[in-house]
Amino acid sequence: PDMICIAKAIGGGIPLGAVVGRKEVMNLPAGSHANTFGGNPLALAAAEVVLDEVPRLLDHVSSLGKKIVEELKDTRSPYVYEVRGLGLLIGVELRKDNKPYVEGLEKVLYNTFLRGVLAIGAGESVVRIEPPLIIPEDLAIKGTKIMKEEIEKL
């Protein structure tokens, strides 16, 4: 893309946003782009730390995401239509009678929440799992097993 806007995660919890683009797009005349709170030193220091950590996290995210997807693919339930994921953004699509299983999604989200695992829905019947990139493997696997158990109870 010519330009992207990024925010939230880049500041590691400190409010920060940025616009990033190719040189020919971003080469603006002086004074044509302004902001009120730009260049906050604390936010920029946080962003520098975040950006330094990203390469270290990539192997962890890729490896752990594959393990979680494989564990979820082993779920014994006729309602699991598809398990898909990229890194630690993972979805489990639930279907009943070849239609989105909305009630199943609601049950899984509620029951996993009661057991300490927070997930959200995506679309009509996809359990969306997106743990923090820094989650320890043992905690991620524990949460995955809880998710699996609740899906198998449907």
- The one-letter amino acid code at 46 reads A
Residues 154, 138: Cα–Cα separation, whole Å: 25
| pLDDT (tens digit per residue) in 21-58 | 999 989 988 888 777 777 889 999 999 998 998 898 99
* Residue 108 contacts residue 147 (beta carbons within 8 Å): yes
Q: What confidence score (pLDDT) does residue 110 get?
A: 99
| pLDDT (tens digit per residue) in 72-107 | 999 999 999 999 999 999 999 999 999 999 999 999
CATH number of the domain bearing residue 137: 3.90.1150.10
Structure token digits, residue 110 = 């509620």
Tell me how many domains the chain contains: 1
State if pTM tops 0.75.
yes
Domain with 46, as residue range(s), is 3-152
